[in-house]
């Protein structure tokens, strides 16, 4: 009832609400009052309930991912539809939804191909920070504010394209399933879809944050018998072991390159290697950690804009495969609601990935926890 009356009160009007604005790089986010315009054709305005803080948000704050500023970050959100623009048919006010940093238009070449998910309507590779019509829905202090990957969840209300939002199971706990907008599909899909980890196999995971931890859980669920976790922050090791990591390595404490240690531990190198940090150095180390004949390396960390990945092609010649995936290769609107329902029905568990919860105004504390490696995922509650 409350949501229905809210939709009538606010639909068609500008909403003034709180949002965390990143005015420049390398500065704390500022909680501001912003104006959120009503949704235009094909758009949906969502009242955000909960949002996870992802490493990619931090990369953006640190200037490693080039995107226009000032910006409202956040791309891991769950909320309730407040109002819809003309022509929207797949969601309605009051629906519980997830929104994604990768849309699924269901019309482009990649959406129509059974193997593709990198929708041509994405705003990831050359970000404009704007809606598809080239305009913004946010203003603050009279200034235009950009969005991030068409999403922006560090706000009480946002506007997203219908093609980036999906209705989910009404029984889903929003403050948990919000991480199914990024960390969970990115990690699970890298393992189940991209690498296709096999029972009895050996794996190495570089980076034991949110995505790396989801990878560890999925490797374990796939029956991997050895899962080596690599991180320079040893505080992450106990949680990683609890999720399924069998051996922990801190590259800063090793006398030789980490890939050589992985090779010694496994004889020939692992079957599957995953990079979930976003550093060139760890991407190359992950590639060299997998066995040279049929090892598969999946990178999903986002490296700084403009950086170059380079290695001797002889590394690949014996047969290694280097792959990548975004959102784990899942078609976001088609596939992710089923993951949510699997969670609701207790077929999968994602609870251990959420180690911290904070009210939205404490967002900078959440980023501090992330930078210091104290959390796996910290989820912000927009509605106390």
Residue 165 binding: pick among ligand CXF, Zn ion, none (C-beta 5-8 Å cut-off by kind): none
For position 101 contacting ligand CXF by CB under 6 A, the verdict is yes
Site string for ligand CXF, 170-189 (x = CB under 6 A): ------------x---x---
Among 6, 302, 316, 344, binds ligand CXF (CB under 6 A): 302
Q: Which does 302 bind (CB under 5 to 8 A by kind): Zn ion, ligand CXF, none?
A: ligand CXF
Q: How many residues bind Zn ion (CB under 5 A)?
A: 3
CA 72 – CA 158 distance, rounded (Å) = 9
Size of the site for ligand CXF (CB under 6 A): 11
Identify what 181 binds: Zn ion, ligand CXF, none; CB under 5 to 8 Å per kind.
none
Q: Which does 326 bind (CB under 5 to 8 A by kind): ligand CXF, Zn ion, none?
A: ligand CXF
Q: Binding of Zn ion at residue 56 (CB under 5 A)?
A: yes
> Which tokens sit at 322?
């280097």
Q: What angle is formed at CA 28 by the lines to CA 25 and CA 31, rounded to 5 degrees?
A: 115
Closest distance of CB 57 from Zn ion, Å: 7
Name which position in 22, 36, 50, 54 contacts Zn ion (CB under 5 A): 54
**Of positions 7, 50, 102, 378, contacts ligand CXF by CB under 6 A:** 102
Question: Which span (28-36, 49-57, 62-70, 213-221) binds Zn ion, by CB under 5 A?
Answer: 49-57
| Residue choice 124, 190, 228, 283 for contact with ligand CXF (CB under 6 A) | 124
- Binding flag, residue 54, ligand CXF (CB under 6 A): yes
124 contact, one of ligand CXF, Zn ion, none, CB 5-8 Å limit per kind: ligand CXF
CB-nearer residue toward ligand CXF: 123 or 175: 123
Site string for ligand CXF, 69-88 (x = CB under 6 A): ------x-------------
**CA nearest 327: which of 56, 20, 22, 43?**
56
Asked if 250 and 208 touch (Cβ cutoff 8 Å), the reply is no
Least CB distance from residue 101 to ligand CXF, whole Å?
4
Told to check if 152 binds Zn ion by CB under 5 A, we report no
User: Given the structure tokens 């980890």, which residue do they identify?
Assistant: 197
Give the nearest residue (CB) to Zn ion. 54
Only one of the segments 47-55, 122-130, 343-351, 356-364 lies at the binding site for Zn ion (rule: CB under 5 A); that segment is 47-55
99 touches ligand CXF by CB under 6 A: no
Is the omega angle on the peptide bond into residue 322 within 30 degrees of 0, that is, cis? no
Three-state SS for the chain is CHHHHHHHHHCCCCEEEEEEEECCCCCCCEEEEEEECCCCCCEEEEEEEEEECCHHHHHHHCCCCCCCCCEECCCCEEEEEEEECCCCCCCCCCCEEEECCCCCCCCCHHHHCCCCCCCCCCCCCCCCCCCCCCCCCEEECCEEEECCCCCCCCECEEEEEHHHEEECCCCCCHHHHHHHHCHHHHHHHHHHHHHCCCCCCEEEEECCCHHHHHHHHHHHHCCCCEEEEECCCHHHHHHHHHHCCCEEECHHHCCCCHHHHHHHHHCCCECEEEECCCCHHHHHHHHHHECCCCCEEEECCCCCCCCCCCCCHHHCCCCCEEEECCHHHCCHHHHHHHHHHHHHCCCCCCHHHEEEEEEHHHHHHHHHHHHCCCCCEEEEECCC
Comparison of 7 and 124: residue with beta carbon closer to ligand CXF: 124
| Residue with the CB atom nearest ligand CXF in the bound state | 56
List the interface residues with Zn ion, window 154-183 (CB under 5 A): 182
Binding site for ligand CXF (CB under 6 A): 54, 56, 75, 101-102, 124, 182, 186, 302, 326-327
Binding site for Zn ion (CB under 5 A): 54, 56, 182
């Amino acid at each position: 009832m409350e949501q229905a009356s809210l939709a009538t009160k606010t639909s068609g009007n500008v909403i003034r609400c709180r949002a965390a604005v990143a005015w420049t790089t390398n500065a704390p986010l500022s909680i501001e009052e912003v104006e959120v315009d009503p949704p235009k054709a094909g758009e949906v305005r969502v009242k955000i309930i909960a949002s996870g803080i992802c490493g990619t948000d931090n990369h953006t704050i640190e200037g490693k991912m080039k995107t226009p500023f000032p910006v409202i970050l956040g791309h891991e959100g769950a909320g309730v539809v407040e109002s819809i623009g003309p022509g929207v048919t797949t969601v309605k006010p009051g629906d519980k939804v997830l929104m994604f940093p990768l849309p699924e238009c269901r019309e482009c070449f990649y959406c129509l191909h059974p193997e593709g998910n990198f929708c041509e309507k994405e705003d990831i590779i050359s970000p404009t920070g704007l809606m598809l019509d080239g305009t913004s829905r946010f203003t603050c202090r009279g200034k235009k504010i950009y969005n991030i990957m068409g999403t922006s969840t560090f706000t009480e209300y946002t506007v997203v394209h219908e093609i980036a939002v999906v209705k989910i199971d009404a029984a889903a706990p929003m403050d948990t399933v919000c991480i199914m907008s990024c960390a969970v599909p990115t990690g699970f899909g890298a393992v189940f879809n991209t690498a296709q980890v096999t029972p009895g196999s050996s794996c190495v995971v570089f980076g034991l944050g949110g995505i790396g931890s989801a990878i560890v859980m999925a490797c374990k669920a796939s029956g991997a018998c050895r899962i080596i976790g690599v991180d320079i922050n040893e505080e992450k090791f106990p949680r990683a072991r609890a999720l399924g990591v069998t051996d922990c390595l801190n590259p800063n404490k090793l006398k030789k390159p980490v890939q050589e240690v992985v090779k010694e531990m496994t004889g020939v190198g692992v079957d599957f290697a995953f990079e979930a940090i976003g550093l060139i150095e760890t991407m190359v180390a992950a590639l060299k950690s997998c066995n040279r004949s049929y090892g598969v390396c999946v990178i999903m960390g986002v490296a700084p804009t403009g950086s170059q990945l380079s290695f001797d092609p002889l590394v690949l010649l014996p047969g290694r495969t280097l792959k990548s995936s975004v959102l784990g290769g899942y078609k976001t609107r088609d596939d992710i609601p089923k993951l949510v329902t699997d969670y609701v029905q207790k077929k999968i568990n994602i609870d251990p990935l959420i180690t911290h919860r904070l009210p939205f105004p404490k967002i900078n504390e959440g980023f501090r926890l992330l930078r210091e490696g104290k959390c796996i995922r910290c989820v912000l509650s927009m509605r106390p």
